[in-house]
């Protein structure tokens, strides 16, 4: 049963669009957005959950991917086969540069320096007049994959995003069970011990950081194509915070943590915003504008009482 | 470029740095001694400002309003510590980051619901306006007050930490917590007290900066980042580091913003200078932090050697 | 493992199987998306309140048809705004989209409207590219072109004969555009042109430079909290006694006044509307708004109100046949309504041609801080980008 579960989910995900009527492409678009955020959150989960590195700068890599792919598109390079690998390469490079400096530090120092780098990129991109600056960059078309497929259709994009997410999850699964993955987790549990045993800690952490950055870059490229718009806010540290919330909500260090967290947070936001709960509105009018109070309370509750996130809770109940 | 301008900018840097110190001091102590990353520190600063704004309106006196806001915020801080934060001491840093991040969200909305998005708070009439320091040089009176209060609090904090028994306990706890515990120090009460002091310092900064900065929801986040930069540069757990770090950040940020575009204008073409100057100035503080950490990954004066 | 995935599947199941709303061609549906939470919420709340007030005063109708206004909150995030726009257009099948406060959030979402031939009427954001090269038949600006207030301020500085003006704006696209707009009409000497950081709190360094430069006036474009900080510090430094502060209208409106307080007295600003504009529509609007919401309306509110009246006039012109998009467009362009700002008509790029006034912050008869009209700066001004627009 456990082995079959991912396949069941995949089948459901593949079948979902076919059940939608033609006008309901909105839900396909919404689901695509969840997939892309799930990929971004999963890439953060690699560093955060498996690697134990608290990085507040992950938005910098998602943002780099988004901007590189958008700039290429706006300069006439329409093919995704060039644009997206370029985005991944750029983010990996950024992760290498930022990681090389940041990973010399540990703990709170690491958190701060990753945050600082993200802020630096945010300010620099903001002053880039050529690519829209604060007003952002609007794209006329999504990237094209050729093969007779038009990514402009919500249908096609849905499957593309799903494919990317599936690839990311598969990659994480294989990585976590590989020797590299086990070393990373050993480093997370006790860095001094791992060093004493003789593992090249710095190199492993850096490699992990770069892989996660690259995956984040892909998510960024997809995000830019999905919305056909990119803006410096995607690099802001609060965006890193949002990704972190998704990971902790879903289950840090668990394979499906990013997916569950993204679906839960985005789904919750949509529910609160668009489906008015009348009895709640009677007690607390305008509650929909104070949604972040609920998100904050939920997050606090999860951290205090259910630190393993939704995935953890469900797994524990199964074994109890 | 006159020397008057240089002196004035230096005073500005000093003033900003001293206020940052008030925030950084509380933050570094909590971090250094309780080993807790507290992102909600900025929220206490915001509460201090809002309470001051309310009390100033209620009492009609600036001094009274500010003075009352300090113990009020300290009490709220201690209540927060005893209820929620205490459970986080034993947890890992990630949980602390996330829990206190959640507190930021909760506090922001709670303040918005109770007070609204902002509150007016003005410089008291007696202090609004410049004061002649030297012939040809004027400086805003209110900022002089801030420098005075900031220096006084810094001095008092130094005396407290270096010369009193409580300060000794604090320093002991910062350098070796287990030993301090083993020696019989009542840790829970010390921590609560410490947190209260930190919250009080936040209130002083929030109330004093309130008339100059917008008293609005979310005001804590911007200054929180700077405070973290300060303690990282100065070394976590060290008051001396917090002081040096905050003065450094205050001066670099102010002078950088003032003179870097001019400097660039000398060496580069106007087009490049006008684009690059402000861009680099805005990240100068972060570059400073990266540089310090590259040379000394634990900050300038780490508490634990 | 199956149960781990129950949560997202449930979310899908709930949202995916929701019944589509029944199609009703006998009412007009408006998708209203704005920034209703977060630090900049006051602006969006004002626009929404005024829009809903106009609908209410019209008996819940626009142009004779019952109006259904779907209000959404973009939370100041472009992708959330876009998600809502997609929902409104694809799922709720709105007839008009409106509401955005900020250009960057709007620009992420309006393409969805344009692609689906839904008309967007802007109650605030009106960026220059959409006035010029990228003008679009489905975009109507019921506010003012983004540069307009800056141009008017620059014109005022020229007319008033200020010899030296010091300018400040944040270092981003809108900041640079704003000072370009000011310089387009200001013909005197520029004592300084400084770009500050976005979100900067402390302006002591800049103020010291202002003092050293000794200008006659200072023009700032510092939206939101930045402006509040600057003005407070400007006054605290004693500079307001020697140097005249000029701002664009939205930087001196009721929301900023409330946050700054008495320090704002004597500030000049340029805007297309003021509380005391003497026409019947405005008098009614201000009175009703204050009665309903117990606060004075800002310039944003006036724009939200006008947007509703504009849509109302268009629906009335086509006699309720809103499916005829071309007809609605022509009706909107004709703009046959009584605007609270007095005279209003559209340029061929569907941006307004209107007057701009000089205002000063003073006290009204009840001792409240308000903007009072001091004079007219521009009469029937359009915008600088219309020549680049290919629309007729």
ipTM of this predicted complex?
Answer: 0.81
Residue in B31, B103, B279 nearest the CB of A300:
B103
Q: Nearest CA to A315 among C258, B234, C7? A: C7
How close does chain B come to C329, measured CA to CA in Å?
A: 38
Per the CB < 8 Å rule, is B278 touching C195?
A: yes
Q: Tell me, yes or no, whether B188 lies in a domain.
A: yes
Could you tell me how many CB contacts below 8 A there are between chain A and chain B?
A: 111
Instruction: Note the Cα A50 to chain centre separation in Å.
Output: 15
Domain extents for chain A? 29-235
- Using DSSP, how many helices (H) and how many strands (E) does chain A show? 14, 2
Give Rg (Cα) of chain A: 20
Residue in C39, C209, C233 nearest the CB of B212:
C233
Q: Which residues of C touch A34 (CB under 8 A)?
A: 8
Per the CB < 8 Å rule, is C15 touching A27?
A: yes
- Residue B305: what pLDDT? 43
- The number of distinct structural domains making up chain B is 1
Percent of chain B with pLDDT strictly greater than 90: 30
- Residue C17: what pLDDT? 46
- Residue B274: what pLDDT? 64
Closest residue in chain B to residue C234, using alpha carbons only = B212
Which of A289-293, B152-156, C9-13, C328-332 comes out lowest in average pLDDT? C9-13
Residue in C201, C208, C235 nearest the CB of B5:
C208
Q: Tell me, yes or no, whether B201 lies in a domain.
A: yes
- Residue A86: what pLDDT? 95
Instruction: Note the Cα C5 to chain centre separation in Å.
Output: 44
Per the CB < 8 Å rule, is B93 touching A248?
A: no
The mean predicted confidence, pLDDT, of chain A is 86
Distance CA C249, CA A248 (A): 44
Residue in C5, C80, C86 nearest the CB of A9:
C5
pLDDT at B25 > cutoff 80: yes
Contacts of C117 (CB under 8 A, 6+ apart): C138, C325
Test mutation, C35, C44, C202, C235, chain B, max B CBs within 10 A: C202
Give the residue with greater pLDDT, C173 vs B83. Answer: B83
Q: Quick one: pLDDT band at residue C22, thresholds 50, 70, 90? A: very low
- Using DSSP, how many helices (H) and how many strands (E) does chain B show? 11, 4
Q: Nearest CA to A248 among A205, A311, A187? A: A311
Pairing relation of β-strands C189-196 and C164-170? parallel
Q: Tell me, yes or no, whether B257 lies in a domain.
A: no
The mean predicted confidence, pLDDT, of chain B is 85
Distance CA A178, CA A181 (A): 5
Q: Tell me, yes or no, whether B303 lies in a domain.
A: no
Kindly tell me the burial class for residue A265, based on how many C-beta atoms sit within 10 Å of its own C-beta (0-12, 13-18, 19 or more).
buried
pLDDT at C78 > cutoff 90: no
Q: Where are the alpha helices (DSSP H) in chain C?
A: 6-16, 41-57, 78-86, 103-115, 128-131, 148-160, 173-185, 204-213, 225-236, 254-260, 280-293, 299-317, 325-334
C125-181 tens-digit pLDDT? 998 889 988 899 999 999 999 899 999 999 999 999 998 999 999 877 778 889 999
Contact between C389 and C135 (Cβ < 8 Å):
yes
Contact between A123 and C197 (Cβ < 8 Å):
yes
Distance CA C237, CA C204 (A): 9
Q: Nearest CA to C69 among C106, C27, C110, C113? A: C27
Distance CA A247, CA A214 (A): 18
- Residue B91: what pLDDT? 86
Kindly tell me the burial class for residue B50, based on how many C-beta atoms sit within 10 Å of its own C-beta (0-12, 13-18, 19 or more).
buried
Q: Quick one: pLDDT band at residue B273, thresholds 50, 70, 90? A: low
pTM over 0.80: yes
Q: Quick one: pLDDT band at residue C215, thresholds 50, 70, 90? A: very high
Q: Nearest CA to C381 among C91, C208, C209, C185? A: C185
Residues lower than pLDDT 50 in chain A: 1
Longest dimension (CA), chain A: 63
Q: Quick one: pLDDT band at residue C199, thresholds 50, 70, 90? A: confident
3-class state of residue C386 by DSSP: helix
Per the CB < 8 Å rule, is C3 touching A31?
A: no
Closest residue in chain B to residue C238, using alpha carbons only = B129
Residue in B121, B213, B282 nearest the CB of C197:
B282
The mean predicted confidence, pLDDT, of chain C is 88
Q: Where are the alpha helices (DSSP H) in C171-276?
A: 173-185, 204-213, 225-236, 254-260
Contact between C69 and C54 (Cβ < 8 Å):
no
Q: Tell me, yes or no, whether B91 lies in a domain.
A: yes
Percent of chain B with pLDDT strictly greater than 70: 94
pLDDT at C380 > cutoff 60: yes
Per the CB < 8 Å rule, is B99 touching A295?
A: no
- Residue B270: what pLDDT? 66
- Residue C20: what pLDDT? 44
Which domains are assigned to chain C? 24-144+278-346 (3.40.50.2300), 148-271+356-381 (3.40.50.2300)
Nearest-10 crossing angle of helices B239-267, B270-295: 150
pLDDT at C246 > cutoff 90: yes
Query: In C, residues 2-41, which contact B (CB 8 Å cutoff)?
Result: 38-39, 41
Distance CA C292, CA C106 (A): 28
Contact with chain C for residue B280, Cβ under 8 A? no
Section B84-96 average pLDDT: 86
Contact with chain B for residue A111, Cβ under 8 A? yes
Distance CA C370, CA C357 (A): 15
Which of B49-53, B86-90, B173-177, C112-116 comes out lowest in average pLDDT? B173-177
Q: Quick one: pLDDT band at residue B52, thresholds 50, 70, 90? A: very high
Q: Which residues of B touch C198 (CB under 8 A)?
A: 282
Residue B74's domain comprises: 8-217
pLDDT at C32 > cutoff 90: yes
Distance CA C344, CA C356 (A): 11
Q: Tell me, yes or no, whether B105 lies in a domain.
A: yes
Q: Tell me, yes or no, whether B83 lies in a domain.
A: yes
Section C114-121 average pLDDT: 94
């Amino acid at each position: 049963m456990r082995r079959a579960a991912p396949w069941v989910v995949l089948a459901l995900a593949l079948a979902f669009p076919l059940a939608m009527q033609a006008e309901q492409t909105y839900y396909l678009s919404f689901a695509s957005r969840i997939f892309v955020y799930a990929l971004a959150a999963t890439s953060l989960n690699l560093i955060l959950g498996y690697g134990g590195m608290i990085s507040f700068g992950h938005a910098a890599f998602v943002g780099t991917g988004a901007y590189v792919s958008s700039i290429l598109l706006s300069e006439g390079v329409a093919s995704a086969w060039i644009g997206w690998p370029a985005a991944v390469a750029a983010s990996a490079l950024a992760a290498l540069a930022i990681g090389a400096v940041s990973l010399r530090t540990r703990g709170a120092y690491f958190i701060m320096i990753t945050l600082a780098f993200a802020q630096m990129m945010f300010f620099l991109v903001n002053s880039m007049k050529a690519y829209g600056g604060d007003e952002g960059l609007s794209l006329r078309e999504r990237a094209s994959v050729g093969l007779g497929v038009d990514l402009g259709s919500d249908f096609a994009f849905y499957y593309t995003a799903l494919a990317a997410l599936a690839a990311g999850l598969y990659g994480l699964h294989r990585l976590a069970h590989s020797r590299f993955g086990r070393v990373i987790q050993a480093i997370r549990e006790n860095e001094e011990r791992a060093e004493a045993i003789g593992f090249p800690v710095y190199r492993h952490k850096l490699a992990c950081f770069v892989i996660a950055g690259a995956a984040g870059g892909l998510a960024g490229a997809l995000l830019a194509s999905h919305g056909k718009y990119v803006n410096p806010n995607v690099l802001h540290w609060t965006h890193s915070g949002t990704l972190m919330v998704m990971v902790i909500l879903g289950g840090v260090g668990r394979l499906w943590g990013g997916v569950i967290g993204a679906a839960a947070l985005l789904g919750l936001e949509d529910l609160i915003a668009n489906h008015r709960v009348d009895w709640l509105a009677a007690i607390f009018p305008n509650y929909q504008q104070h949604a972040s109070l609920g998100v904050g309370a939920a997050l606090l509750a999860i951290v205090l009482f259910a630190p393993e996130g939704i995935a953890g809770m469900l797994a524990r109940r199964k074994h109890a | 470029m006159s020397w008057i301008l240089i002196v004035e900018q230096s005073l500005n840097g000093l003033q900003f740095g001293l206020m940052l110190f008030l925030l950084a001091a509380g933050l570094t102590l909590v971090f250094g001694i309780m080993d807790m990353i507290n992102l909600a520190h900025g929220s206490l600063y915001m509460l201090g400002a809002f309470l001051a704004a309310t009390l100033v309106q209620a009492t009609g006196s600036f001094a009274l309003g500010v003075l009352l806001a300090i113990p009020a915020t300290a009490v709220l801080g201690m209540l927060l510590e005893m209820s929620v934060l205490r459970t986080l001491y034993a947890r890992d840093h990630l949980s602390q980051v996330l829990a206190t991040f959640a507190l930021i969200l909760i506090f922001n909305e709670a303040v918005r619901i109770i007070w609204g998005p902002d509150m007016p708070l003005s410089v008291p009439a007696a202090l609004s306006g410049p004061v002649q320091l030297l012939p040809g040089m004027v400086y805003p009176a209110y900022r002089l007050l801030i420098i005075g209060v900031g220096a006084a609090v810094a001095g008092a904090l130094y005396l407290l930490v270096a010369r009193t028994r409580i300060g000794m306990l604090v320093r002991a706890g910062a350098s070796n917590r287990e030993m301090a515990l083993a020696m019989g120090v009542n840790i829970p009460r010390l921590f609560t007290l410490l947190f209260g002091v930190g919250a009080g310092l936040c209130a002083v900064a929030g109330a004093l900066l309130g008339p100059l900065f917008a008293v609005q929801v979310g005001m804590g986040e911007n200054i929180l980042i700077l405070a973290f930069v300060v303690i990282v540069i100065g070394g976590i757990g060290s008051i001396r580091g917090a002081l040096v770090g905050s003065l450094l950040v205050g001066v670099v940020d102010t002078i950088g913003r003032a003179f870097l575009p001019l400097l660039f204008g000398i060496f580069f073409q106007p087009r490049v200078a006008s684009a690059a100057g402000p861009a680099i100035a805005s990240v100068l503080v972060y570059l400073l932090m990266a540089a310090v950490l590259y040379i000394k990954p634990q900050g300038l004066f780490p508490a634990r050697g | 493992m199956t149960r781990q995935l129950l949560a997202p599947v449930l979310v899908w199941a709930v949202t995916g199987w929701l019944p589509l709303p029944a199609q009703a061609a006998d009412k007009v549906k408006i998708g209203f998306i704005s920034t209703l939470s977060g630090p900049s919420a006051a602006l969006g709340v004002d626009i929404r309140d005024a829009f809903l007030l106009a609908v209410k005063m019209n008996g819940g109708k626009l142009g004779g048809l019952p109006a259904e206004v779907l209000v959404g909150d973009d939370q100041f995030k472009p992708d959330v705004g876009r998600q809502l726009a997609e929902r409104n257009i694809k799922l709720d099948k709105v007839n008009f989209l409106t509401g955005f406060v900020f250009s960057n959030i709007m620009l992420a979402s309006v393409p969805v409207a344009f692609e689906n031939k839904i008309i967007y009427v802007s109650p605030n954001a009106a960026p220059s590219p959409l006035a010029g090269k990228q003008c679009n038949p489905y975009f109507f600006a019921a506010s003012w072109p983004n540069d307009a207030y800056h141009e008017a301020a620059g014109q005022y500085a020229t007319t008033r004969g200020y010899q030296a003006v010091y300018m400040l704006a944040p270092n981003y696209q809108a900041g640079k555009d704003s000072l370009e707009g000011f310089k387009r009409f200001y013909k005197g000497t520029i004592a300084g042109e400084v770009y500050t950081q976005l979100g900067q709190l402390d302006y002591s360094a800049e103020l010291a430079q202002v003092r050293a430069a000794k200008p006659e006036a200072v023009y700032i474009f510092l939206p939101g909290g930045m402006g509040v900080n600057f003005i407070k510090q400007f006054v605290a430094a004693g500079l307001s006694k020697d140097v005249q502060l000029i701002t664009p209208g939205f930087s001196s409106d009721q929301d900023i006044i409330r946050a700054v307080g008495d320090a704002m007295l004597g500030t000049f600003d340029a805007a297309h509307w003021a509380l005391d504009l003497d026409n019947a529509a405005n008098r009614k609007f201000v009175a009703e708004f204050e009665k309903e919401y117990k606060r004075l309306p800002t310039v944003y509110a006036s724009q939200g109100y006008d947007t509703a009246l504009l849509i109302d006039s268009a629906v009335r012109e086509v006699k309720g046949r809103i499916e005829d998009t071309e007809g609605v467009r022509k009706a909107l362009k004709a703009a046959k309504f009584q605007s609270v700002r007095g005279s209003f008509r559209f340029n061929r790029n569907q941006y307004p041609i209107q007057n701009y006034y000089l205002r000063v912050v003073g006290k009204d008869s009840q001792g409240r801080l308000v903007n009072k009209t001091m004079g007219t700066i521009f009469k029937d001004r359009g915008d600088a980008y219309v020549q680049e627009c290919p629309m007729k």
